[in-house]
Amino acid sequence: MIRAAAIACVGCAMGSGLGCAVDHGAATSRIAVGGDSPLAALFVRVAEDAGIPSDELAAASWASTRFRFATDPEDAVRAEAESLRSGDLALLGGDGFRRDVDAALARGISGRDADGRKVIVTRRQAAGSTNGLGQIEQGLDYTGATWVAASTSNYQVASRGVGDIDHIVIHDTEGSFSGSVSWFQDPTAQVSAHYIVRSSDGHLDQMVAEKNVAWHDKCFNTNTIGIEHEGYEASPQLWYTETMYEKSAALTSYLADKYGIAKEHGPILGHGEAPDCSDHTDPGAGWNWDHYIELVKAGGAGQYLAGDITVDAPATIVAGELATVTVTAVNHGTSAWDLDATRVGTQGPQDRASQLYVAGDWIAPNRAAAVDAPTAPGATGTFTFQIVGPAVTEPTAIDEVFELVEEGGAWFGPTFDLAIQVVPAEAGSDATMTDHSGCNATGDGAGALVLLALAGLRRRRR
Ligand SMILES: [Zn+2]
């Protein structure tokens, strides 16, 4: 363990920085939307104007834009707020969009804006749910999918089986998951796919039985299974998530085994490569075929493993004081780590609420941070988050255990701990000006920041 080089002692007293876009919520003291992106403050401000919850507005924006705006963010966010306020979600994707937003709220969001700055939406604990991630119901053919039937006007009833199905066609939706599901349920659409995969968590809906002919590829439907993926060909890095690749690959692996299709790029192909009577090019050049086929061959079972973990944290912290912790770990698994799903979680026991939790910086009391950037196998991932010294009456040693977790998937080790000496606030004020907190490591400026942060925290307690 290494002592922190500097402490980001910024609080609301500074008028900027983490935790300043605070929204204490109507019913609880929970900070619903935080982070250092200006978007966080925008969501809070616009939501307040519209009289809607800020986390809901942020989740809606995440579901539709991934926090990247082609036009003025303020205009776009205000338009979304108006849709949410009026309950008229038709433009955003209707009831299905509502489900996407609810799923994002249940899961929590750790997203970044176009400049790489964080927007944190604290996870809402769903009533009666153990993990807030929802449940998978069994699909008609594939047990990993939920059955959501397409309109019977949108496919051809058949009795296909082994020998009849020899290709798997990969698509992207060029629209939201929910919007696409709704479209396949609309009898006027005249299009469908057997399966559709959601970007954020790899959730799968099966909409047409495999024995039937779905209408996904005008001239190439008879002998194929079609799989749609939520996203846009033009921005694959925002939509083609590792989780989606893996859940899709597990499905494709299952289909290939079932119908005797070679696990190769060829019999498994993109819409843009398939014989077709249209000019479709999806899923586009941004679809990582090498990685996808590798996952299909591995059964889609993404292998997660970390190693060479370093923890950069202060050895001592004053009660109420904020400090920055940086954890690095090498990805020793075969699957990349993803912004939306690879996180630091609490262990010992698993998913406990941490006493080091900082509202507005953490995704939830049991989730400190997501990986700072997508991390390929072999590369080093960084996880950065704040901690707060818990209230103590005498110097107290605390030791909290953490582990990396792939949301909706696996916990993967090894575990690591934060062993920190906490000193009471009164004695600590002196300590910060003299020696051992580590907070004055960068000089008087840092010390002044500590006092400002403490002042802010004291004020908030009243
Ligand atoms: Zn297509």
At 17-65, the pLDDT tens digits run 333 344 443 333 456 888 789 999 999 999 999 999 999 999 999 988 8
Q: How many angstroms separate the CA atoms of 387 and 395, rounded?
A: 17
Instruction: Compute, in angstroms, the gap from residue 216 CA to the centroid of ligand 1.
Output: 6
Instruction: Compute, in angstroms, the gap from residue 283 CA to the centroid of ligand 1.
Output: 7
Instruction: Compute, in angstroms, the gap from residue 278 CA to the centroid of ligand 1.
Output: 9
Q: How many angstroms separate the CA atoms of 33 and 66, rounded?
A: 15
Nearest to 342 by CA among 427, 407, 397: 407
Nearest to 268 by CA among 292, 244, 247: 292
Instruction: Compute, in angstroms, the gap from residue 229 CA to the centroid of ligand 1.
Output: 9
Under DSSP, the state recorded for 210 is T
Instruction: Compute, in angstroms, the gap from residue 249 CA to the centroid of ligand 1.
Output: 17
Nearest to 387 by CA among 411, 433, 422: 422
Q: How many angstroms separate the CA atoms of 35 and 359, rounded?
A: 10
pLDDT at 30: 58
Split the chain (462 residues) into runs of 10 and give each run's mean pLDDT: 30 33 42 85 95 94 89 93 88 81 83 85 58 39 84 94 92 95 95 96 91 93 97 94 89 88 95 84 94 82 73 94 94 82 91 94 94 90 96 93 84 83 73 37 34 32 28
pLDDT at 45: 95
Specify whether the backbone of 61 is left (phi greater than 0), alpha (psi in -120 to 50) or beta: alpha
Instruction: Compute, in angstroms, the gap from residue 69 CA to the centroid of ligand 1.
Output: 25
Q: Which residues contact 159 (CB under 8 A, 6 or more apart)?
A: 211
Q: 423 pairs with which residues across the strands?
A: 318
Q: Which residues contact 445 (CB under 8 A, 6 or more apart)?
A: none
- Find the helix or strand (DSSP H, E) in which 384 lies: strand 380-388
Q: How many angstroms separate the CA atoms of 450 and 392, rounded?
A: 18
pLDDT in tens, 154-197: 999 999 888 899 999 999 999 999 999 999 999 999 999 999 99
pLDDT at 102: 86
Give the sheet arrangement for strand 33-34, strand by strand.
33-34, 118-121, 109-112
Contact status, residue 331 vs residue 337, Cβ threshold 8 Å: yes
CA distances from 377 to 235, 294, 381, 411 (A): 22, 13, 10, 17
Instruction: Compute, in angstroms, the gap from residue 243 CA to the centroid of ligand 1.
Output: 20
pLDDT at 248: 95
For the chain, how big is the Rg over CA atoms in Å?
24
CA distances from 253 to 59, 293, 461 (A): 32, 9, 54
Instruction: Compute, in angstroms, the gap from residue 98 CA to the centroid of ligand 1.
Output: 24
Instruction: Compute, in angstroms, the gap from residue 184 CA to the centroid of ligand 1.
Output: 13
Instruction: Compute, in angstroms, the gap from residue 282 CA to the centroid of ligand 1.
Output: 5
Contact status, residue 189 vs residue 222, Cβ threshold 8 Å: no
Instruction: Compute, in angstroms, the gap from residue 220 CA to the centroid of ligand 1.
Output: 11
Query: Which residues keep their CB under 5 angstroms from ion ligand 1?
Result: 171, 271, 280, 282
Under DSSP, the state recorded for 149 is P
Q: How many angstroms separate the CA atoms of 345 and 409, rounded?
A: 13
Q: How many angstroms separate the CA atoms of 82 and 61, rounded?
A: 12
Instruction: Compute, in angstroms, the gap from residue 267 CA to the centroid of ligand 1.
Output: 16
pLDDT at 284: 96
pLDDT at 397: 93
Q: How many angstroms separate the CA atoms of 311 and 314, rounded?
A: 10
- Within 10 A of 305 (CB to CB), how many other CB atoms are there? 17
Instruction: Compute, in angstroms, the gap from residue 90 CA to the centroid of ligand 1.
Output: 23
pLDDT at 78: 96
- The number of CA neighbours under 13 Å toward the Cβ of 439 is 33
Amino acid 75 reads: D
Q: How many angstroms separate the CA atoms of 88 and 26, rounded?
A: 23
Domains of the chain as residue ranges with CATH: 32-121 (no CATH), 146-297 (3.40.80.10), 306-461 (2.60.40.10)
